[in-house]
Amino acid sequence: MPLKQESQNKAFGGTLTKYSFASKSLGGLETKFNVFMPAEGEKSKVPVLYYLAGLTCTEDTGPQKSHLLAPAAQHGIAIVFPDTSPRGAKIEGEDADWDFGTGAGFYLNASSEKWSGHYNMEKFVVEELRGIVQSELSVDSERTSIFGHSMGGHGALSLYLKYPGQYKSASGFAPICNPTECQWGQKAFKGYLSDPSSEGPKHDSTYLIASYPKDKKVAIKVDYGTGDKFYQDGQLLPENFEKAVRDAGRQGEVEVGRREGYDHSYFFISTFAAEHVEFHAKYLKA
């Protein structure tokens, strides 16, 4: 087994286990992730959700603060919590900003020479981690969905749309919906991509929805709060995504919830955690 078990806690009748391994996608660096395995996982392979956390977070933020474990236990679904970037790549400037570099991998494969040796969180999540989880843990990778918060909401929606059929459903808590048009996304794409203007839209859910195969339905749920400072500052732009959804004629396939007064914190996420797991359960257990 390529995985080293770092810790394990019993939780909600199942287990939360932290593993580490040396990741090829991330240039050989050690990375850590948590897995919540419901009790059902002891008897049979269970469906699995990938939860992508936001800027500055780690593999621990979701398990500790999201309130996702209780509904996952209830529905018999595993959740994988990866880290938000490589750690310790020793690239100049990696730790200079909270919204770029360490803790801010943006779930894409870097194309700029400086970052492409390590910052490949897309390949990491979609291929490498998924492969390891499938081979080593009691999950049924045919039944996989993805969700996330903020930067991780961008990751969830964009990876879902880039890899049709790989994930049954996607959802975002306060996701960055249109990264090429907001400061966070522009800064990330300028750093990670060698040609941001041509490559950026390929990582932007608001553009990706237009090119999604016409013969496939999408299953997407988004929630954001009107009291979210980052929403107010134009970092999330859910309205742009909603317009793109309408333009693509996919209104019935995308739910967007505007939540009065909620902010960007994990108190917002935890409030709607059960609804999101229930949304995915419909597709994972269909």
Residues at the site binding a copy of itself, with contacts judged by CB under 8 A:
9-13, 16, 63-65, 67, 69-70, 225, 227, 261-263, 265-268, 270-271
Is position 149 annotated as part of the catalytic site? no
The set of residues, in sequence order, having a beta carbon less than 8 Å from that of 234 and lying 6+ positions away, is 181, 182, 183
By beta-carbon proximity to a copy of itself, the closer residue of 14 and 179 is 14
Q: Which of 154, 228, 263, 276 is catalytic?
A: 228
To a copy of itself, the closest distance from the beta carbon of 118 in angstroms equals 31
The least CB distance from residue 136 to a copy of itself, in Å, is 22
Catalytic residue among 154, 264, 276, 280: 264
- Is there a catalytic annotation at residue 264? yes
Q: Which is nearer to a copy of itself, 45 or 259 (CB)?
A: 259
Nearer to a copy of itself, 135 or 226 (CB): 226
Contact 121, 131 (CB under 8 A): no
Question: Which residue among the candidates 23, 25, 66, 150 is catalytic per the annotation?
Answer: 150
Alpha carbons within 13 angstroms on the beta-carbon side of residue 22 total: 2
Is 154 an annotated catalytic residue? no
User: Closest approach of Cβ 39 to a copy of itself, in Å?
Assistant: 11
